[in-house]
Amino acid sequence: MDKIVDVTGGKGGSAYLLLGEEKTALVDCGMAYCASTLISNIKQALNNKILNYILISHSHYDHIGAIPYIKEEWPASQVLGAEHAKRTFTRPNALIAIRRLSEEAAKIYGADDIKKYDDELLKVDTIIRDGDIVDLGGVSVKVIETPGHTKCSLSFWVNNETLFPSESTGYMSQSGKIYPSFITSYSDAMDSIHKCEKLNPRFIISPHFGLVNKSDTNDYWKNCILAMEETKEFILRLAEQGYDEEEIFIEYEKTFRDEYSRSEQPFNAFKLNIQPMIKTILNTWLIQQKVI
């Protein structure tokens, strides 16, 4: 863990620097609005070293927003991500959405408008796949494909002891509660949880939370699974009672969103995550009911 440094620049997205003997890598980079603070933190941690890699867990704006600014500071750094993420960054609509969400986040978090950036800098330079190893010299990072949150979700297994699980497995609130985040597939997300659990990591760095307390590590995966099941059962119960998607979302927000969740995640970001989860469960349920 002494080779892993939290360099997060601001609320809404985390970033960790991996310090190898020969090379360095950043795991995610947070939002665009706090890029200058992030870069300052990275420089301090690098101590005159250069940044070699930016490992992205997936292509959502709160995990990749600072990439263009980092590339301006370290032009030789390489962005490593999934093939689907590479394709995402070539889509004009995706780039427009990332910029719009980044601008909205800056206002929500009380920052000045984001600094102008070139969309050409927002790209995956090298595709990484399940089982690939990124060797930093004394620090080894194994790539674990863990879809469910997105099709491009990756987890990173550092030195066979520290795991950066992707958001497919869920994320821990500062309250200690686990929230599921299976936007593209419930079954894929559940498989990803089991895949991570089998690694039996000594340390877990949960998305949007950070290092999980030792006392919470043993039950972490069990709680991820319980959160998934609880959400699925809640959605199906309301659907069987005749609630439509919007009504289910309203009830879900009332039931599951506590003060910690409200302070940690803007409402629009919460909605963008929950609505696809509801749709994913209902589509599967309708197929099973032979309605479609």
Place of tokens 């620049």: 9
Instruction: List the end-to-end C-alpha distance of the chain, in Å, as a whole number.
Output: 50
Q: How many CB atoms lie within 10 A of CB 269?
A: 18
Distance CA 283, CA 292 (A): 9
Domains and CATH numbers, the chain: 4-222 (3.60.15.10), 227-288 (no CATH)
pLDDT at position 260 is 75
Helices and strands, number each (H, E), in the chain:
11, 14
Which residues lie closer than 8 Å to 162 by C-beta, 6 or more apart?
1, 4, 201, 202, 203, 204, 205
Distance CA 167, CA 182 (A): 8
Instruction: Give the model confidence (pLDDT) of 182-209 as tens digits.
Output: 999 999 999 999 999 999 999 999 999 9
pLDDT at position 5 is 97
pLDDT at position 289 is 61
Contacts 24+ apart (CB under 8 A), 71-78: 71/121, 72/117, 72/121, 73/39, 74/50, 76/50, 76/52, 77/50, 77/51, 77/52, 77/53, 78/52, 78/53, 78/54, 78/125, 78/126
Write out the chain's pLDDT in tens, 292 residues: 789 999 999 988 899 999 999 999 999 999 999 999 999 999 999 998 999 999 999 999 999 999 999 999 999 999 999 999 999 999 999 999 999 999 988 988 888 889 999 999 999 999 999 999 999 999 999 999 999 999 999 999 999 999 999 999 998 888 888 999 999 999 999 999 999 999 999 999 999 999 999 888 989 999 999 999 999 999 999 999 999 999 999 999 999 887 777 777 778 778 888 999 999 999 877 666 655 5
pLDDT at position 268 is 77
The DSSP symbol for 110 reads T
Distance CA 29, CA 38 (A): 8
